[in-house]
A and B are shown apart, each in its own frame.
Chain A
């Protein structure tokens, strides 16, 4: 078997999207929590 690039691309893209989305949600939630503390 020599192919498989569509599966490789799909795997890496899914991982990148999930990790990026979760990281951004953490940054946003942390900012909101800090904002609530200062208000």
Chain B
């Protein structure tokens, strides 16, 4: 027998998959797709905050400070989803050379950096009361910092190259190289002895802690989707405007 919380999680996963399917088969425009995710993200976020901060019990060992998990871990889900979008779009750009893929890659990197920054800051705030330090050069923390720096370098590189085709090609290569670090970040807690704990299994965690986490993960994923589609649209419109200005200048 499923609980109400499980039904909510299943409904949200269903919505994500159906809308993603409609978008990939081009039955849903990017902005409408993003708008739908954004509209659903806000109530989901409100529900997740209520469950995580008020409804869920405190952790038996860490106490209330464990509630940072409901914002820390979902921010890494957002980071992974956004950088994965950038990686796939960059690969597609190199194969198909369509501007749209470059716009999706740029959107993925920018949004990924926002979630990556939140993950690092909330991790530091969680580290201080549990480990005694805000930051340490632990493999997990170091690889996440490297991930932030390499994707920030992607944005920096774009600002140095004016020619759109060259910029898109070089950026795609950088995004693909930067993405190689993501599996290293994920497995770092298993490969090396780290201060950071390894991934927990939902089977060994109390369901009252799992439900708010799942709701917040879905809320961040929806928010991430909304942000990526908005940023894509901005990139597309700017590229259109640049082309129009260039055509006008050539016509003079």
Contacts and interface: CB of A to CB of B under 8 A. Distances in A.
Contacts of B125: 7, 10-11, 14
B223 interface: yes
Given A11-B122, A11-B125, A33-B241, 10 more contacts: A1-B61, A3-B63, A4-B63, A7-B65, A7-B128, A7-B129, A12-B68, A18-B114, A22-B227, A37-B237
Contacts of B133: none
B241 A26 contact: no
Interface of A: 1-5, 7-8, 10-12, 14-15, 18-19, 22-23, 26-27, 29-30, 33-34, 36-37
A4 to B, nearest CB: 3
Place the interface of chain B in its size category.
Answer: 20 to 34
A27 B121 CA distance: 24
A19 B234 contact: no
Q: Is the interface of A mostly helix, strand, loop or mixed?
A: helix
B62 interface: yes
